[in-house]
Structure 1
Amino acid sequence: MRAVNGEEDRQGCSGADEHGRSAETLLPIRVEAAGVLVDLHFGPGLELLSREIAHLWRHLIVPARSGEPALRRSYRQGPAGAGAGDVPVPEGPEGSYVVSGDVTRQLIDHLAGSSLLLHAGAVDVDRIGVVLLLGPSGAGKSTATARLGRRGRYLTDELTVLDPRAFTVSGYPKPISLMAPLGAGPKRDLPLPEAGLEPALRAEAPAHVVLVDRIRPNADRAAGEEGLFRVPLALALPAVVEQTSALWRVPGGLATLARLVDRCGGLLVARYHEAEVLPDLLADPPPAVAEHWERVVPPAACRPPGLGEFAVTPFRDALLLDDLALILSDGRLLSVSSVAALVWQLLAVGGPMGFAEIRSSAVEALGHHPRADVILEGALRELVRVEAAESGGGVTWVDELRASSAGPA
């Protein structure tokens, strides 16, 4: 096994643990994952797991002279809670899956804010290009990535790392994680050759962003037909944001995501019974679509609302699409529409305003309406309810809302 020192066989010193069992001091395994050097340390009793990891990750192992590692992880046998700082690993075939999951989480923490991070598979396929495959857990992402990856080069099945400017991909071709047949056990990691996959460490910007929507067995006709469909940006962005990590830490993160989707001609939804049809579907995608959107840049400093005024709550990035506002704050995405979207835009651009000023600006934008006061109050209520806006007090219904939210004294 190639270890951190470049030798073919793992070296160690023998001894005994507190139970009198033979123990081996294992050399760390150093891997380069998405351009990040990671040292993996295994404690006594994890000799077999260490060898398995060296086998599964061998295409990413680098020698010690490659530089100082950015991350160090230590694994041990035993229950959670013992051995502060070490990661407990259960006995059984799922041990390698626990290690790969831990490495993935550490990479997310390390790269958050400097890279665009998607919970997505990525493959580079000849005559199709780089394809990102997104979907919630259990949607069949890893299976789709494996099937499509056999037609090209495998970049990752779990964490896609993109440059937020050029959208080039830093490969993280970890062992592919698949469920046991018929759900007979936990996920386990497979060596790439066993899955028929060729790893790649980098790739050009994606040609397609695809949300996988596998049709379950015995689904009724309401589930729809197989095919590849474009999704409007107003629906696409919330679906993609759900599959990101720490997007709010990327400067202009929401606009960056919109540029990625635009560059690919819009988000695709792939509906299929079996993943084998994906190459044929992607070989003939529907026409690209382009939609207008406008970014709202967060102000450098916000004046808090005074008595009788309203203001937007702090946000990281926002987009306006037709009559919809998508607002990204720390850890969540808000969507407000119609008049509420317009009022939010007025407050975001113009700063805190009282009701009379909001009414004047809204009428200028939309024209007079006999029920303008009622409509605008409803819009402000919605913005305050979802915490997209706040009041400085002195507004009867806001004070009542605060009192009801606080509950009995």
Structure 2
Amino acid sequence: MSTAFDVRVLDSVVRVDFDASVPAELRERIRGHWVDLVEDGAEPTVTLTANLGNGRHSSDPQHRIISAPSAEQLAARIVSEATLAGIAGLSGSALMLHAGGVALDDGRVIALVGPSGRGKTTASRALGRHYGYVTDETLAVYPGGDVVPYRKPLSIGTDPDSKTPHPASSEGLRGLPDAPLVLDAIVVLDRRDGIAEPYVETIPVLESLEALVPQTSFLSSLRNPLRTLVSTILSTGGVRRVVYSEAETLGELVDEILSTRTDESPHLVDVGVSTNDCDCGAKLGEEEVVVEAAPGTLYRRSEYRDALSVDDALVVFRQNLVTVLDGLGPVLWFSAADSTAAEITDAALKEMPEPPPGVDPAAIIEATLDELVTANLLVRA
């Protein structure tokens, strides 16, 4: 009789199997962790074969062999590997946040974003007793806002390598509403000691990008990652930060979270389509040269995945990091197309306001170019 079982992980079906090193009692215990997600009759997209202690592995993405030296660590590894398989299955299709999530009866979903150890699981447990439990770790959002639930076993414990999985049903968490799930609010969890009165505040769009991008998976696989993320932020009323000490106090903030919305309405321009209002490239061909460059020194933009103008700022996304450029930064970045320092300086001076007396604009431009090179946004050729 087969001891394998299939589970629904986001939009994927993952088969969990065991070799002879895993005793029957442990197999049944691990199956019990996934009781809320068992899927019968669907063809699995990924198979995980688990074993105790022998260190075997497989590079086949459709059939992964995972090992751990103890029962606790093996159970935790299965949760981790199954989650990774589900995330990979949505690569390029959905925005995926490292977030817990709960749903109101009408289907509106609140995402609870934070890195490991920030309190996502604790917050999801506290709120999930009053609202539908969506997930405690990975929230997937399709274009338009539809949320893919992943009622994964909650990972509970202090050791990140061997947290014990608990099915949501064993924790008394509510089921999902009948209504379609749609993302309505994004919350960054900020748990601090000594907060007597928890509170909600909005985060400016540019700051929220810097907070959210590290808490995503496969963001670069989306066609327009920055546009997708910013559009999601704006469609949900902007990112909120919740500052609190105890997760049990979060329930009293739900109405405030839902009603707190940003009044920002930035002008967005995809750099692949337009270079915003700066016609720096056209100005490079003009005759005026202010500063001579060292012979043979040219500047060009480093490779990047995406760039987006947000009002007067420029957001550059590369290597899963975002950098926000303002002031001179966008002008210099746009101007650096195998251009000399003199050409870039000429273009920048045409964009800059009249400097105060005693300020050398060429020196400021040179220093800013050095900063962009140090930040790997520009390269010297």
TM range (shorter): 0.7 to 0.9
Q: Which amino acid aligns with 1:355?
A: A
- Amino-acid identity (%): 26
Distance 1:299 1:60, change over 3 A: same
| Number of the residue aligned with 1:236 | 208
Work out the CA distance in 2 between the residues paired with 1:336 and 1:224: 37
Among 28, 44, 49, the alignment partner of 1:69 is 44
| Number of the residue aligned with 1:275 | 247
Is 1:295 aligned with 2:269? Answer: yes
Following superposition, the deviation at residue 380 of structure 1 comes to 1.0
Distance 1:340 1:297, change over 3 A: closer
| Number of the residue aligned with 2:186 | 209
Contact 1:128 1:207 in 2 (8 A): no
Deviations 1:308-336 (A, max 9, x none): 33221121112334554321113332333
| Number of the residue aligned with 2:25 | 48
| Number of the residue aligned with 2:281 | none
Distance 1:161 1:246, change over 3 A: same
Work out the CA distance in 1 between the residues paired with 2:107 and 2:210: 25
Work out the CA distance in 2 between the residues paired with 1:28 and 1:91: 19
Contact 1:130 1:203 in 2 (8 A): no
Q: TM-score, normalised by structure 2?
A: 0.83
Work out the CA distance in 2 between the residues paired with 1:43 and 1:132: 37
How is 1:78-227 mapped onto 2 (pairs within 5 angstroms)? 78-81=53-56, 86-126=65-105, 129-163=108-142, 165-179=143-157, 186-200=162-176, 203-216=180-193, 219=194, 226-227=198-199
Work out the CA distance in 2 between the residues paired with 1:75 and 1:389: 46
Question: Structure 2: any 5+ residue segments left out of the alignment?
Answer: 275-294
Q: Which amino acid aligns with 1:363?
A: L
Is 1:374 aligned with 2:363? Answer: yes
SS of the residue 1:62 aligns to: coil
Following superposition, the deviation at residue 83 of structure 1 comes to 7.9
Work out the CA distance in 2 between the residues paired with 1:389 and 1:83: 40
SS of the residue 1:103 aligns to: helix
| Number of the residue aligned with 1:6 | none
Contact 2:56 2:66 in 1 (8 A): no
Distance 1:380 1:78, change over 3 A: same
| Number of the residue aligned with 1:265 | 237
Work out the CA distance in 1 between the residues paired with 2:135 and 2:50: 23
SS of the residue 1:325 aligns to: strand
Work out the CA distance in 2 between the residues paired with 1:321 and 1:297: 10
Among 325, 328, 348, the alignment partner of 1:362 is 348
Following superposition, the deviation at residue 299 of structure 1 comes to 7.9
Contact 2:238 2:261 in 1 (8 A): no
Deviates most, 317-326 or 250-259 = 317-326
> Which structure has the higher relative contact order (CA within 8 Å, separation 6+)?
2
Work out the CA distance in 1 between the residues paired with 2:121 and 2:267: 32
Question: Structure 1: any 5+ residue segments left out of the alignment?
Answer: 1-11, 13-25, 301-305, 393-409
| Number of the residue aligned with 1:254 | 226
Work out the CA distance in 2 between the residues paired with 1:186 and 1:75: 15
